[in-house]
Structure 1
Amino acid sequence: MSGHSSYVPTNRFMRWVDARLPLPRLVYDSFVAFPVPRNLNYAYTFGGILSLMLGIQIVTGVVLAMHYSGNSALAFHSVEQIMRDVNWGWLMRYMHANGASFFFVAVYIHIFRGLYYGSYKAPREILWILGVVIFLLMMATAFMGYVLPWGQMSFWGATVITGFFTAFPIIGDPIQQLLLGGFAVDNATLNRFFSLHYLLPFMIAGVVILHIWALHVTGQTNPTGVEVKTKDDVVPFTPHATIKDGLGMVVFLLFYCWFVFYMPNFLGHPDNYIPANPLKTPAHIVPEWYFLPFYAMLRAITFNIGPIDSKLGGVLVMFGSIIVLFFLPWLDTSRVRSAVYRPIYRIFFWVLVVDTIFLGWLGSRPAEGIYPTLALIGTIYYFAHWLVILPVLGLVETPRKLPASIAEAVLGPNYASGTAAGAAPPSGSVSAPENR
């Protein structure tokens, strides 16, 4: 974000640092004086929560990597050794395993918040695209991390997921062999996944920096969807947003700690406490819960579509369910951002939430009976929401009247007349962001 910095070094040493490496100025401008809309609610705290969870995952992951053995003959037993013989190893392992699940809890809430308040609309298209890139990197990291314990579900999950690539003609088999390091899931596969699982979180951190940079250039959205217009629309990031983010983090960590200390295996699969056995297939292979909606879409395609067989069709649908998110800023044709002022869109939004949860449940069911049919119906609606409902709804829906400013939405309709009559502006105001 452009504009004059209000940072003033407090002593000679800080002036010396600021003249050579203005890092304190950057931190001050980004996290202290940065103006944020005064009407942000607790749904906006999940960006900070995600940064916290990323830090927890990196720290615990580095500690676990010090004791983990990336060898197919030793991996399972090294994890058990971490649990039993390494000081605080059980805590590091449970924090890391449950941290992955809570990372996805936070990111799904963060995504649906963005959908509800239209955070993907211009001029924030790149901000949204970077967020989808982070989501993809998270999914790759989580999948590879799930393989590392080398239990039954780890081994067979890797076998099934890497087998998807064989659906692509010509290039599929070479890609699968490159991932596996051979023709089957084995020691070379484990080494590759361990290396990539260690690397990808740092790539995520790099894209997160770009994501925050893009946020500071365009400015934060808000529940009304109205851009900042006056100095009364904003408040300083500190203490207003930091206190709210801090409280959100504490509450989120309470739930996280409850799982870590009281039900650490609730979100996992019991078969992963059985050593990997390539000669014995589990009765029901399922991925982690955060992949289940996409797994349901994959299995929903049980028929050929012209020259595309069912296997390739399922893989295309699964990948397409994420790729479509990249084009969301251009699929939504409405000029109004927030669902607060779009009553019809708000109904379809909640239907999408229910549909996604329903697909997640179907992904945990066996691929038999009525479940594939229900998954197909859920998949059709999922794509119809993005490709049909959003473009059409933006053209036919009549939104409610927007407030003239953020301050008016917060302080009421009498705000405009009060300030026009010479009333003092609300306390805590800061200069409005420039060049938005």
Structure 2
Amino acid sequence: MSFPWAEHYTPKLPLMKWIDEKLPLPRFVYNAVGGGYEVPRNLNYFWNFGVLAGLALTIQLVTGIILAMHYASNAGIAFDSVEHMMRDVNSGWLLRYAHANGASFFFIVVYIHIFRGLFYGSYKAPREMVWLLGVVIFLLMMATAFMGYVLPWGQMSFWGAQVITGLFSAIPVVGDPIHTWLLGGFAPGDATLNRFFSLHYLLPFVIAGVIILHIWALHIPGSSNPTGVEVKGPQDTVPFHPYYTAKDGFGVGVFLLLFALVLFFAPNAMGHPDNYIQANPMSTPAHIVPEWYFWPFYAILRAFTMDLSIPFTGIVIIPAKLLGVLAMFSSILLLFFLPWIDTSPVRSGTYRPLFKKFFYLLLVDVVVLGYCGGAPAAEPYVMISQIAAAYYFAHFLIVLPIIASIERPDPLPGSITEAVLAKAKHRPVEADPALAAAAE
């Protein structure tokens, strides 16, 4: 974002002047994340999660590159190579646990980031491209995480690969060839590990590239803010550095503290015990589940238990398995169309009382879906997941358009500064020097 009142970078040291003339990298960094990048002055801690997502990706890249040096993508020794990392490689246990738990923390951060965007309307114009690129990043994350889950070659790795890739066989005509192509054969084996390992190594760098586009797209309209009101002047903004670098630094500290607590005291809490048993094609686990961050979508997949058929004829139009696959993918692809589904002119849920209630209902609904996705495929979990899946789609396709047309939003503040000063009336102005200066 380039405001007319933003500072321009002028190097002072001779070396920096020379570098800036030949390759304007210092100027680019300054304008991207330094004092030359102006951001709304009222961003709360929910805006920290973009930086935290970048930190989580960095942890995954660093630990993943080192682990790849010791991993063997061969069905005969893949499981043993992971045990070798854990037992024989210096600090290998730390790297492996950091990588496995780093994936979970990455998804936790991204889910909070997504729901923050949903509540504050960050998907609305003029930030549609920022949102669309974010959904692309989410899809790439899911593909990368699934393939990474297969690599340890434990029981859940093998059967997870068998079940999830088997979903493609539900596609008419081309389903079976796609399934065989994905696995490199008729069952998970050496070819599966080789291609999954290659793609698992490659895709994080693709994610990093899309993140650069995501940040680039963000800098054009600028950051959204909790009020949803656009910036109207220099009084509404502050430089990103040092105000938000300090705030992000606090968030990074909390993130690393929580990460360390899980890493050192509960490293297997978010994993599955069956994955510490070597893959055995002749022994099917009693309950096959993906990683916890896929559970809401897995619940939607399993919610479809009946074929779509013509009544009284027995003619099947769409099999239940294909319905589940279509619903699972649609639940994610639906997010692409959200900027055009929600037509309310008010961005922030803070000023949308009716929207706020249904947003919290959606939040509970997704938690219920997650719980049902990790539960056995039996009653009452199947019935609950069917109700929750129905509401998930109804929320985006029915509830949001209706709310946009009938809701009476609360009055919006005239500017970001007005909202900040109104909030400041509830506490002494002297307690915040920045607010005192703004009040003057």
Q: TM-score range by the shorter chain?
A: over 0.9
The residue type paired with residue 412 of structure 1 is A
Q: Displacement, 1:412? A: 2.0
Q: Displacement, 1:230? A: 1.2
Q: How many residues align?
A: 421
Of the candidates 70, 81, 84, which is equivalent to residue 81 of structure 1? 84
C-alpha change, 1:43 and 1:413, in structure 2 (3 Å) is: closer
Cα distance in 2 between the residues matched to 1:196 and 1:46:
26
CA displacement 1:243-288 (0-9 Å, x = unmatched): 1111011111111111100000000000000000000000000111
Mean CA deviation greater in 350-359 or 6-15: 6-15
Aligned match of 1:420: none
Higher relative contact order (Cα pairs below 8 Å, separated by 6+ residues): 1
Cα distance in 2 between the residues matched to 1:97 and 1:425:
43
Aligned match of 1:99: 102
> Percentage identity across aligned positions?
62
Alignment TM-score, normalising by the size of structure 1: 0.94
Cα distance in 1 between the residues matched to 2:295 and 2:423:
46
Q: Secondary structure at the match of 2:318?
A: coil
CA displacement 1:219-246 (0-9 Å, x = unmatched): 0000000000011100000111111111
Of the candidates 114, 128, 142, which is equivalent to residue 111 of structure 1? 114
The residue type paired with residue 30 of structure 1 is A
Q: Displacement, 1:177? A: 1.3
What RMSD in Å do the two structures reach over aligned CA positions? 1.6
Q: Secondary structure at the match of 1:36?
A: strand
The residue type paired with residue 332 of structure 1 is D
Matched, 1:408 2:408: no
Cα distance in 2 between the residues matched to 1:276 and 1:152:
4
Unaligned runs of 5+ in 1: 416-423, 430-436
Q: Secondary structure at the match of 1:245?
A: helix
Q: What is the 5 A alignment of 1:168-179?
A: 168-179=171-182
The residue type paired with residue 402 of structure 1 is L
Cα distance in 2 between the residues matched to 1:107 and 1:267:
17
CA displacement 1:86-125 (0-9 Å, x = unmatched): 0110100000000000000000000000001000000000
Tell me if structure 1 keeps the 8 A contact 2:71–2:82: yes
Of the candidates 199, 203, 224, which is equivalent to residue 200 of structure 1? 203
Tell me if structure 1 keeps the 8 A contact 2:421–2:435: no
Q: What is the 5 A alignment of 1:362-377?
A: 362-377=372-387
Matched, 1:336 2:346: yes
Tell me if structure 2 keeps the 8 A contact 1:152–1:271: yes
CA displacement 1:345-389 (0-9 Å, x = unmatched): 000000000000000000111111221111110000000000001
Q: Displacement, 1:182? A: 1.1
CA displacement 1:28-79 (0-9 Å, x = unmatched): 0111121111000000000000000100000000000001111111100000
Cα distance in 2 between the residues matched to 1:156 and 1:393:
43
Of the candidates 55, 58, 65, which is equivalent to residue 62 of structure 1? 65
Q: Displacement, 1:413? A: 8.7
Tell me if structure 1 keeps the 8 A contact 2:119–2:356: yes
Q: What is the 5 A alignment of 1:121-140?
A: 121-140=124-143
Alignment TM-score, normalising by the size of structure 2: 0.94
Matched, 1:352 2:355: no
Q: Secondary structure at the match of 1:132?
A: helix
Aligned match of 2:193: 190
The residue type paired with residue 362 of structure 2 is L
Cα distance in 1 between the residues matched to 2:201 and 2:12:
40
Aligned match of 1:312: 322
Tell me if structure 2 keeps the 8 A contact 1:321–1:383: yes
Tell me if structure 2 keeps the 8 A contact 1:232–1:426: no
Aligned match of 1:399: 409
Aligned match of 2:15: 13
Q: Displacement, 1:2? A: 4.1
Tell me if structure 1 keeps the 8 A contact 2:351–2:409: yes
Mean CA deviation greater in 138-147 or 7-16: 7-16
CA displacement 1:120-168 (0-9 Å, x = unmatched): 0000001000000000000000000000000000000000000000000
Unaligned runs of 5+ in 2: 310-316, 426-433
Tell me if structure 1 keeps the 8 A contact 2:424–2:435: no
Q: Displacement, 1:3? A: 5.3
The residue type paired with residue 26 of structure 1 is F
